[in-house]
Amino acid sequence: MIEYDPDRAAKSDAAKNHTFCERQGRCLLGCLPAARLTLTKSLFAHLLQDPTNGVALWPRAEARHVRKTGGGYQVTFNDHRDGGGEQTVTAPMVFLAAGTLGTTELLLRSQNAGGLELPGTVGQHFSANGDFGAFVVNTAERVSSTRGPINTCEVKALVDGTHLTVEDCAIPAMFASIASTALSVLDSFAKRRLFHARLRLAWLTHSIPDLRDFLPHLPDTYDPNDARTEAEYVNNIFFVNVMGQDDASGTFRLDGDDLRLAWERPIVGHPTFAKADELCRHFAEAMGGDYVALWDALPRRRLMVTHPLGGCTIGADRTKGAIDEYGRVFDAGGAKPTDTHAGLFVVDGSAIPGALAVNPTLTITAQALKAVGMPSARLPPPQPRWLHSPVTRAVPKNAEHSRCGQILESVPSAVRRGDSLLTLIPRPPVEVG
């Protein structure tokens, strides 16, 4: 993000961009002061502003499958700028960066359609990165959850041999009243049971649940404690996000055109989440507040995975993973187990073979740079004209921002060569249990 830096004066990024971080705490929703250095900004600054470099960005292009051809690959996609019509492009090289779910789904669909010979390891070793969320309500000291970047601090812990990273998470002001009211419901056992009962009744009767008792109400003008600002609603609510070490035992498969996730054992029973739960309880006690775990919000325990990893993981050969250490996709029809599809790379979180117990942004970025730095991942300098057989690259959604203020998502070298860019429509976080 862009910080105010009076020491550098006119040479600072803030002066150059006429903006800086205003600590609004809504990084994930979109930065109103435009102080984030996003992948989109990097693409425009380093690639798209120069019409002679042969790079084009195709927004709203949903890749459907990849087929190997004599000269490389053919990518079939739906152009949602034109009513979702199906189109194709060909390229000698394809870089898949649609995210853990998107890349895995794309390769599974390509395999089912007969376009690519892929090993059975595609779709395996999905990890939730040990993600666990909780709240501390009614903290003894004010925590001002609507202020600051999305993450401002972290604590690393080792609990019975399991690495855990605990970090704070901002609550955007626009969600403050809803978060406050919802947590007051979940913090009460009686209200929580009633809330679950109404949700269950609505599900069974296919009706809209009556949740008026649980929704934010209009302020009582006669009660000074009831007329609070958005910031005051969550001044004493601390949002905790934990990352740990699960066993990456999830497996993706296609059910028709839908991506399904199954586990060898119920993932909520993995010990890392019980350890994270216990650690968060100790934090709540130390902060003088009440503890509310996110997985208690529903009748059955569920995990909300914000850092999905795996599905096309690195392995020594095609019996151990879907790609090699440089992101090259293994060829199931090759003579040797280490044979790969020339010019087909995976450069996103689906390559990571297990939980990291930290925010995965740096690891994913390093692995992507390693892949595109390979000599086999390089093409001759592009011609200053439009090519009819463009190099197709799938651009990931905006990368996450690190909690320490370092800009990690600006990786122009990962996409600097080529004659066309595809963006894949991202899917929301997957709910697993």
Residue 202 burial by Cβ neighbours in a 10 Å radius (0-12, 13-18, 19+): middle
Specify whether 108 is located in the same domain as 151: no
Report the CATH number that the domain containing residue 328 is assigned in CATH: 3.50.50
Instruction: Indicate whether 266 and 176 sit together in one domain.
Output: yes
Choosing from 304, 325, 350, the residue where a domain stops is 304
Examine the pLDDT at 59 and tell me if it is beyond 50.
Answer: yes
One domain, residues 342 and 262: no
Q: What is the largest CA-CA distance in the chain?
A: 80
Residues 227 and 205 in one domain: yes
Return d(Cα 204, Cα 198) in angstroms, integer: 10
Give the residues across from 132 on adjacent strands.
Answer: 242
Evaluate whether 407 touches 367 at the Cβ level (below 8 Å).
no
Helix-, strand-, coil-residue percentages of the chain, each rounded to 5: 30, 25, 50
Map residue 32 onto helix, strand or coil.
Answer: coil
Cβ-based neighbour number of residue 327 at 10 Å: 25
Q: Are 147 and 231 in contact (CB under 8 A)?
A: yes
% of the chain at pLDDT higher than 90: 43
Q: How far is residue 204 from each of residues 200, 209, 318, measured CA to CA in Å? A: 6, 11, 46
Domains identified in the chain, total number: 3
Q: How confident is the model at residue 158 (pLDDT cuts 50, 70, 90)?
A: very high
CA distance 163 to 171: 26
Mean pLDDT of 151-177: 87
Claim to verify: residue 160 and residue 299 sit in the same structural domain: yes
Between 177 and 315, where is the model more confident? 315
- Sorting pLDDT into bands at 50, 70 and 90, what band is 275? very high
Question: Do 137 and 122 belong to one domain?
Answer: no
pLDDT surpassing 60 at residue 433:
no
Q: Based on C-alpha coordinates, what's the Rg of the chain? A: 24
Cα separation, 313 vs 124, in Å, equals 8
Answer whether 73's CB lies under 8 Å from 392's CB: yes
Any residues with CB less than 8 A from the CB of 169 and at least 6 apart, and which?
133, 150, 151, 239, 240, 241
Domain boundary among 304, 331, 346: 304
Instruction: Determine which helix (DSSP H) or strand (DSSP E) holds 180, and give its type and residue range.
Output: helix 176-186
The mean pLDDT of the chain is 79
Q: How many CA atoms lie within 13 A of 406 on its CB side?
A: 8
The pLDDT assigned to 304 comes to 86
Distance, in Å, from the CA atom of 187 to the CA atom of 212, rounded to the nearest integer, reads 17
Of 290, 288, 274, the closest CA to residue 242 belongs to 274
pLDDT higher than 60, residue 409: no
User: Using CA atoms, how far apart are residues 389 and 366, in angstroms rounded to an integer?
Assistant: 29
14 and 91, same domain (yes or no): no
Confidence check: pLDDT of 335 > 60 = yes
Are the C-beta atoms of residues 55 and 46 closer than 8 Å to each other?
no
Q: Strand pairing partners for 237?
A: 137
Same domain, 18 and 89: no
179 to 137, 346, 410: CA distances (angstroms):
11, 38, 32
CB distance 369 to 117 below 8 Å? no
Instruction: Identify the H or E element spanning 264.
Output: none
The tens digit of pLDDT for each residue in 248-260 reads: 999 999 999 899 9
Q: Quick check: 383 pLDDT over 80?
A: no
**Which residue among 304, 321, 353 closes a domain?**
304
User: Are the C-beta atoms of residues 9 and 15 closer than 8 Å to each other?
Assistant: yes
Strands 237-243 and 132-137: antiparallel
Closest CA to 265 of 248, 243, 245: 248
Give 424's DSSP letter. Answer: P
Q: Tell me: do 330 and 351 sit in the same domain.
A: yes
CB 384 within 8 A of CB 404: no
**pLDDT value of residue 189:** 52
Query: Which one, of 285, 176, 279, lies nearest residue 237 by Cα?
Result: 176
Claim to verify: residue 147 and residue 290 sit in the same structural domain: yes
Domain match, 137 and 252 both? yes
Weakest-pLDDT range from 104-108, 115-119, 230-234, 325-329: 230-234
Residues 104 and 253 in one domain: no
Tell me which residue range forms the domain holding 18: 1-35
3-state secondary structure of 69: strand
pLDDT at 195: 64
Q: How many CA atoms lie within 13 A of 89 on its CB side?
A: 25
Kindly give the residue spans of alpha helices, DSSP state H, lying in 127-266: 176-186, 189-205, 230-233
